[in-house]
Amino acid sequence: MYIDSHCHINFPELLARMPEILAKMDENQVSHALCVSVNLPDFPQVLALAEQHPRIYASVGVHPDYEDTPEPSVEQLIALSNHPKIIAIGETGLDYYRLEGDLEWQRARFRTHIRASRATGKPLIIHTRAAAEDTIRIMQEEGAGTDAGGAGGVMHCFTESLAVAEAAMAMGFYISFSGIVTFKSAKDLQAVARAVPLERMLIETDSPYLAPVPHRGKMNEPGLVRHVAEFLADMNGIPLARLAQQTTDNFFSLFKILR
């Protein structure tokens, strides 16, 4: 069994195909998927998916790419996460690639999420793009990691250097690889994925984006996470069943889900 640790199946292009998406998960032995919130107005829809489907979990948070959107407070995130199917806070983090100018609001929003994570004990889903240094610094300053009494979490859709992965792992964080690692051009990232211990690894689609090879360029969905697993097992020379089992165990242990 595989778990897609990060997807956006509430986005309209996927939501309209829910029966097919669940069937494709079955076909590919994908047992669960975590539907990740990107803003507060869409949160009720994300929560509804998790309430309707036993195999869908959800998170609450506001993505750093959403500039003109209601700003969450620590109290609000704590209140909204108080539900058995809400297993994480995020996605949150920093993105200096898509947005420019004074991004102090992104850093403030990131701190808000880390404080909510510490208060609730629910792990963080962290997005970082062209902002690794500030991301790690703020994680350290706010005590996001399990080493500092935080709830830890996952560096999702990881594309940074091994040094950044190691800094995050030192704080108890997991590293999640998406379809990007399967791309021919992703040599540096593949080297990072060879160095991250299996005990720290998660797999994800980030669907509807970033479909893995051999579906690159098409619409992505949770069932396709199997291709990420196959690629990583093959590249690292480990049995596929072992990678599937360990990444599944990692998911349940990080998000404190009792089986």
User: Which residues in this chain contact Zn ion in the complex, by CB under 5 A?
Assistant: 127, 206
Q: For the CB of residue 157, give the shortest distance to Zn ion in the complex, in Å.
A: 5
Specify the residue, 92 or 233, whose C-beta has the smaller distance to Zn ion.
92
**What separation in angstroms does the CA of 39 have from each of 29, 44, 89?**
30, 10, 12
**Nearest residue to Zn ion on Cβ basis:** 127
Alpha-helix runs per DSSP H in the chain: 12-15, 18-27, 43-52, 74-80, 104-120, 132-142, 162-170, 187-195, 225-236, 240-254
Specify the residue, 4 or 206, whose C-beta has the smaller distance to Zn ion.
206
Specify the residue, 7 or 25, whose C-beta has the smaller distance to Zn ion.
7
Q: For the CB of residue 236, give the shortest distance to Zn ion in the complex, in Å.
A: 24
Half-sphere exposure of 97 (CA within 13 A, CB side): 9
Specify the residue, 32 or 127, whose C-beta has the smaller distance to Zn ion.
127
Tokens 């964080």, residue? 173
Q: For the CB of residue 128, give the shortest distance to Zn ion in the complex, in Å.
A: 9
Q: For the CB of residue 204, give the shortest distance to Zn ion in the complex, in Å.
A: 8
Tokens 């969905």, residue? 221
Q: For the CB of residue 178, give the shortest distance to Zn ion in the complex, in Å.
A: 9
Specify the residue, 126 or 232, whose C-beta has the smaller distance to Zn ion.
126
